[in-house]
Structure 1
Amino acid sequence: MKKIFFWIYHNTLLGKLMIYTFHYSKDNLWPDKWVVRYNYKKRRKKSLNLKNPKTLNEKINWLKLNDRRPIHTQCADKYEVRNYIKEKIGEEYLVPLHFETQNPSDIKPENIPDFPSIIKANHDSSGGIFVYDKKKINYQEIQNLFSLRLKNNYYKSKKEWQYKNIVPRIIIEKLLITKDGKIPLDYKVHCFNGKAHMIQVDIGRGSNEHYRNWYYTDWTRCPFKWTSVSKNKQTNPAKFDVPPPNKLQKMCELSNKLANPFDYSRIDWYDVDDKLYFGEITFHHDSGCRPIEPEEWDYKLGDMVKLNEN
């Protein structure tokens, strides 16, 4: 019976209607708490404790539902966050912005710089399009892509409230490249109650050899892993180390200033030939649905986050 149900579900018009009805109902009709519980149970295969959250992942999910301030919307907006950065630490840490628009038709040669750039949306986490030569890109294809992206409200599927009221737009920034022509490493500083605690470094992103190392702020290795899935493989820590960025101390100091209003946040940076550039602020790393292993560290890290301090 189960095999028959799954065959209907995946191979018939009735199945497609069932899928559409379920997802429409979940995204648009279910209470936010139901969706958060469902997503956690689906990905973690266990129930989510929201009444008395103990683990870091549980507290991230609790924050989704209980800490919803306008500052979250501003900081999740990749365009509006620029004003937050200017106010808190100064605009010298911002990636140069070349162009912004709410109209995908504006993605055309005269609005693309002659130097390498990246085209991305301000309201989601779907990455960007690298442009090394504006004469060699398909403008119609990119316009069509962003027409679809701007219609998507990223809040709906995961109930990460900060995305709900962002005004969607397209931004074109300078593409950060090191002196040797490489895309720089990004450093993701995880902050607990406004203080940098651990740093995530992704190596080989987008390749079949995507590793993720974890370091404390003194650059000693963390005794746990918190993986995502890339190319159908977990982003396990590498057996080798990467050297600390030369601006490590400054990166942590600046992260503390930016994270100050939040119980938990992740502040992303690029270190380009010893110059720091701000990347983004994230409030719910992997939506709080990926295991921290060994599991005891999900509890240990969770114990360090004090809810309602800010």
Structure 2
Amino acid sequence: MRLWSLLHPIRTYKAWHFDRYIQFTEQWRKLVAQDPKKAFDMKWNRFYRRKFPWKNPRTLNEKLTWMEVYTDTSKWSEFTDKYEVRKHIEELGLKDILTDCYGVWNKAEEIDFDLLPEKFVLKCTHDCGSTVIVRDKSKMDRQKVIDFLNKHVAIWYGYDSCEPHYTSIKPRIMAESLIEMDNSEEFSSETTVDHKIRCIDGKAQYDMVCYDRSLESGSGGTKTIYDLYDIHVWQPMRQYLADSGVNYRDVPRPQNLERMIEIAEIIAKGFPQVRVDLYNVKGKIYFGEMTFFAFSGMNNHFTKKFQRMVGDKIRLPKAVK
């Protein structure tokens, strides 16, 4: 148990009550849909033990949350959909960075596994943490995969985590080609290195490099390492990481880094901020996804100083809600 929990039994009770509230009642789902501002007030108090600064958001987390509540997030929903966003990437003239898509289905029983190649990836189009990597189809437990995907596709993602723009995305399952890992003696990872490039006003700011990803426990997991790099000079910025005791390893400068930055900025154009996730395997760049509300607006990987530094760069659009 955390120290602050021992010292603040009343606060601990409130946190427990909040957790029970979102897990066992329909009121929370209705609140997220009908009054997201109030839902965020509850969530913010639960995690940060203070009121949300609606009149003067300053940090990255605060400005992301403000935009989720007060701006038009219809494009967030459209481009967060892992299948629909592919059309947008093609329209930008970037079809060459897309993985092959083998199909999209409403439920796992509709998947004809016999038509899929020996290696592929399955994922739900509407959520986070439902990825299934199949490296050898002959060894795949088909029923286990079906049960896993059906469990996730049945969830209207976005309510528990309070991410309203997710709730309008139709739950589906898609299959795509597997991006092979680019391991070498210089650097190796248990999963393909993920470059999460934060762009503000269409300009790349930094690269949150993700490796050794723990897929079994969702998008984050306890093993996943999130590192931070100045994307333009490719130097670590770990002084701005709040995580302690992490065994960071220097990630080699990606091949065609300049092209990767160019692609991220093409995709990010027109948005006050967005995180563009890319893979770069031996100089071949692949699109991952667009993320508008990273870590549900509760990104605690960064120090308060860095949160403020990034937040100061984001110019909030005019409120429309």
Same fold (TM over 0.5): yes
- Which position in structure 2 is the counterpart of 1:201? 209
Q: Could you give the per-residue CA deviations for residues 230-252 of structure 1, whole angstroms, max 9, x where no partner exists?
A: xxxx5766554211111211111
Higher mean C-alpha displacement, 171-180 vs 251-260: 171-180
Cα 1:142–1:208, aligned 2, differ >3 Å: closer, same or farther? closer
C-alpha distance in 1, partners of 2:23/2:125? 29
The one-letter code sitting in structure 1 at the alignment partner of 2:264 is S
Instruction: Count residues with an aligned counterpart.
Output: 293
Q: CA deviation at 1:212?
A: 2.1
C-alpha distance in 1, partners of 2:109/2:102? 16
Q: Could you give the per-residue CA deviations for residues 109-148 of structure 1, whole angstroms, max 9, x where no partner exists?
A: 324222x111110000014111122222222222222222
Q: CA deviation at 1:260?
A: 1.2
C-alpha distance in 1, partners of 2:22/2:57? 32
| 1:175 and 2:178 correspond | yes
- Which position in structure 2 is the counterpart of 1:32? 36
| 1:212 and 2:226 correspond | yes
1:1-310 equivalences under 5 Å are 23-29=25-31, 31-114=35-118, 116-178=119-181, 183-206=191-214, 210-218=224-232, 219-222=234-237, 224-226=239-241, 234=243, 238-291=247-300, 293-308=302-317
The one-letter code sitting in structure 2 at the alignment partner of 1:112 is L
C-alpha distance in 1, partners of 2:149/2:213? 23
C-alpha distance in 1, partners of 2:126/2:235? 34
Q: Could you give the per-residue CA deviations for residues 68-97 of structure 1, whole angstroms, max 9, x where no partner exists?
A: 343222210000000010011321000111
Relative to the length of structure 1, the TM-score reads 0.84
Q: Could you give the per-residue CA deviations for residues 44-78 of structure 1, whole angstroms, max 9, x where no partner exists?
A: 23322112111111001101112234322221000
Secondary structure in 2 matching 1:307: coil
C-alpha distance in 2, partners of 1:304/1:35? 26
Higher mean C-alpha displacement, 275-284 vs 66-75: 66-75
Structure 1 gaps, min length 5: 228-233
The one-letter code sitting in structure 2 at the alignment partner of 1:184 is T
The one-letter code sitting in structure 2 at the alignment partner of 1:80 is E
Cα 1:192–1:51, aligned 2, differ >3 Å: closer, same or farther? same
State whether residues 79 and 122 of structure 1, in contact with CA within 8 Å, keep that contact through their aligned partners in structure 2: yes
Higher mean C-alpha displacement, 72-81 vs 18-27: 18-27
State whether residues 213 and 236 of structure 1, in contact with CA within 8 Å, keep that contact through their aligned partners in structure 2: no
Q: CA deviation at 1:25?
A: 1.4
Higher mean C-alpha displacement, 127-136 vs 164-173: 127-136
Q: Could you give the per-residue CA deviations for residues 280-310 of structure 1, whole angstroms, max 9, x where no partner exists?
A: 0001111121336542222221111111189
Q: Could you give the per-residue CA deviations for residues 204-255 of structure 1, whole angstroms, max 9, x where no partner exists?
A: 222865432211222123264356xxxxxx5766554211111211111111
Runs of 4+ in structure 1 over 6 Å off: none
State whether residues 99 and 111 of structure 1, in contact with CA within 8 Å, keep that contact through their aligned partners in structure 2: no
Q: CA deviation at 1:153?
A: 1.2
Higher mean C-alpha displacement, 100-109 vs 31-40: 100-109
Secondary structure in 2 matching 1:241: coil
State whether residues 130 and 152 of structure 2, in contact with CA within 8 Å, keep that contact through their aligned partners in structure 1: no
C-alpha distance in 1, partners of 2:137/2:69? 42
C-alpha distance in 1, partners of 2:225/2:107? 37
State whether residues 178 and 273 of structure 1, in contact with CA within 8 Å, keep that contact through their aligned partners in structure 2: no
Secondary structure in 1 matching 2:160: helix
State whether residues 73 and 166 of structure 1, in contact with CA within 8 Å, keep that contact through their aligned partners in structure 2: yes
Cα 1:302–1:237, aligned 2, differ >3 Å: closer, same or farther? farther
Cα 1:249–1:127, aligned 2, differ >3 Å: closer, same or farther? farther
Secondary structure in 2 matching 1:158: coil
Structure 2 gaps, min length 5: 1-7, 185-189, 215-220
C-alpha distance in 1, partners of 2:273/2:246? 23
The one-letter code sitting in structure 1 at the alignment partner of 2:250 is D
Higher mean C-alpha displacement, 58-67 vs 178-187: 178-187
State whether residues 89 and 254 of structure 1, in contact with CA within 8 Å, keep that contact through their aligned partners in structure 2: no
